[in-house]
Amino acid sequence: MAAATALADAIARLDVRFGSRTVVTATNAADRARQRRFLTGTSFDRLSGGIEPGSAFAFVGEGTCGKVTLALRAVAGVQRDGAMTLWVDGARSFDPLAAQRAGVDLRRVVVVRARSGDEVRLAAGAGLRSEGFRLVVIDLGPSFAQVASIDALAPVLPQVRGSTSALAVVADVPAMRLAIPTFTFERVTWESRHGRTVGWSFAVRRSDAADREQALLQAI
Amino acid sequence: MNVTDRESSKGLRAVAVVHLRGEVSDARHTKVLEALTRLLPRVGVEGRGTFACDLRGTGRLLGPPERVGARIVATLERVHIAAAIGIAPGPFTARVIAERAPTGEVARLREGEERAFLAVLPLSTLPIDEEHREELALLGIRNVGAFAVLGRGAVLDRFGRAVAAAHALACGEDAGEVHGAPPRRRILARRSWDAAITEREQLLFALKSALDEVSGELERDGLSALRLEARLEREDAPPLRIERLVLPPAANGSALLRSMRWALEERPYGEELGRVIGVRVEATEVEPSRGRQIGLFAADGASEEEAIAVARYLRSRLGPGGVVRAHVSGPDARLAEREAEWEEVVS
């Protein structure tokens, strides 16, 4: 009985010091985490379980295999709750028209044109530390690969934990030294209509998963 | 009860304007405002080093206006501040008298004497812009008395509302009120540590409690910090002073901490923080808190302000064109570059 009283007292003190609901039961915490996740509205959600704020992941694969397409879908998913997104565009590959077609509200995407690894880290760090964004996307596409790789983002990753934002990194090559959940993209087939190429199908799978479960998507 | 006591107790208008002599620093201005606020119920600021005190209703408690004026002069002399006092029914006339009164003197105009007093003064005494003053001079009007005899309707027709208001002042109709400006309460917090802090992250952690205290004070007064100043006391170096402009103005502790974090991160690369043993954080400039979009219909609508603040910070670091937003202007345009346009998020 005394232990229960002491525990309640300690929880009350923590609530006063750090805000209400600082201490919650594990079940409640899991429920809240599930509610905060956002979905891309594609079969990728089954594979990933949704994107959770405070998490980091990478989309990796060769050029034109759907990484940016899926990242744009993720942005659209975040925006369904009215949130803002920060797109750190090292590769200068952000295409407003493609974004609009993916359902992105362009007014709620802030695009940062970074020119160096330092600028990428600065922008990503500022976005993750603020409470203004729910998703920070870093595009290290082929034109930026010589400037910075996923490994160069090591100083940014500690800031993801506890952030209200998730971090998505889009790159051609996977990290060599950094442990970051990675989704590998692979183009399956080109889609054509009336003899013209209109898009492609691609497969996504978790690099660290033992099984071969994958999501199949289309970019038209 | 003499005549002046009766005037004050009846609520007749009497305004004392305190005009400081010599150079007026920020500290001196604030000190005088604080001293006057302790003496009188309503004190306004007319300009730097010039204060208007409403003496209505103070007769029974403080005595006639002249006595109040003498008391103000004596109080200021005790702290070595030289001033002259002008007392009149309105703030404009009281100010004109105070500016012309000898240092340490109290000069008073009674009701009905204003017009005669002002009549001999040059036209530049009145708040009339240069262009209109020159036009009046061409008409042969060079002092307040000559201006006052003009018809009010004619002045309004020819020169407009602002000059007509100056004409009313020339006629002794000073309807100005004293708008109270209480001295700002200093919102600050201090912390000191036995063990010196050398790491930035540890310092930020330690700063949090001080900033939470500042945040609490701000929220209690319904204010937001616009400018934040921190003074870090160091064991091995002179104090480090950090000043931040908080945009958008915030009372929230985490926003203040974020601003401080950015300030510490912006320090030149390789510059040591030193051994920090204490800090004083003060909200040096505040403004009333404005309402925020609480996001009734958009769950994260309130975050947009934060996002814009980040965009502003990044633009300051990356330069023009570094932080942009796109909009599709012509999805069917023949040239790809005509499809979309980019605009600065903050300019």
Cis previous bond, B248, omega within 30: yes
Neighboring chain A residues of B327 at a CB cutoff of 8 Å:
96, 106-107
pLDDT digits (tens, 9 = 90+) for A168-202: 999 988 888 888 889 888 887 887 778 787 777 88
Q: How many Cβ contacts (< 8 angstroms) between chains A and B?
A: 100
Backbone angles phi and psi of A180, in degrees to 5: -135, 130
Question: Closest chain A residue to B323 measured between Cα atoms?
Answer: A112
The H or E element spanning position B234 is: strand B223-234
Identify which of A94, A100, A126 has the shortest CB distance to residue B310: A126
Tell me the per-residue pLDDT of A64-115, one tens digit each, with 9 for 90 and over. 788 888 899 899 988 887 788 999 998 788 888 889 888 899 989 999 999 8
Provide mean pLDDT across the span B80-98: 92
Element (H, E) at B277: strand B276-288
- Interchain contact, A114 vs B318, CB within 8 Å: yes
pLDDT confidence bin for B59, thresholds 50/70/90: confident
**What count of other Cβ atoms lies within 10 Å of the Cβ of residue A97?**
16
User: pLDDT for A139-164, tens place per residue?
Assistant: 998 878 777 888 888 888 888 877 78
What six digits make up the tokens of A181? 């959940």
Is residue B8's pLDDT more than 50?
Answer: no
**Phi, psi of B16, rounded to the nearest 5 degrees:** -105, 125
Q: What is the pLDDT of residues A202-212, one digit of tens each?
A: 888 887 765 55
pLDDT, greater one: B228 or B299: B228
| Mean pLDDT, residues B143-158 taken together | 91
CA atoms of B297 and A171, how far apart (whole Å): 35
Report the run of H or E that residue A40 belongs to, with start and end: none
Give the pTM: 0.51
Cβ of B327 and A129 within 8 Å?
no
Q: Which residues of A touch B339 (CB under 8 A)?
A: 96-97
Kindly provide the b/e burial profile for residues A177-191, where b requires at least 16 CB atoms within 10 angstroms of the residue's own CB.
ebebebbbbebeeee
CA distances from A45 to A69, A70, A73 (A): 14, 11, 11
Separation CA B103–CA B323 (nearest Å): 57
Put simply, the chain A residues between 123 and 142 with a CB less than 8 A from any chain B CB are: 123, 126-127, 129-134
Which of B200, B266, B310 to substitute to test the interface with A, most A CBs within 10 Å? Answer: B310
Mutate to test the interface with A, among B266, B293, B300, B335 (most CBs of A within 10 A): B300
Spatial contact of A117 and A147, defined as CB atoms under 8 Å apart? yes
Closest approach of A165 to chain B, Cα-based (Å)? 11
Q: Is residue B301's pLDDT more than 50?
A: no
> Which of A111, A119, A130 is closest, CB to CB, to B258?
A130
A210 to chain B, any CB pair closer than 8 A? The answer is no
Q: Is A171 on the interface with B (CB under 8 A)?
A: no
Handedness of CA A65, B343, A135, A161 (dihedral sign): positive
Q: Which residues 20-39 on chain B approach chain A with CB closer than 8 angstroms?
A: none
Q: Which chain B residues are within 8 Å of A99, Cβ to Cβ?
A: 326
B residues 301..320 contacting A (CB < 8 A): 301, 303-311, 313-314, 317-318
**Chain-chain contact of A131 with B308 (C-beta, under 8 angstroms):** no
For residue B313, give how far its alpha carbon lies from the nearest alpha carbon of chain A (Å): 9
**Cα B278 to Cα B289: distance, rounded to the nearest angstrom:** 29
Neighbours of B115 (CB within 10 A): 16
Q: Is the separation of the CB atoms in A181 and A196 below 8 Å?
A: no
Query: Does position B55 have pLDDT exceeding 60, yes or no?
Result: yes
Distance from CA of A59 to the nearest CA of B (A): 23
- Establish if B295 touches chain A: CB-CB under 8 angstroms: yes
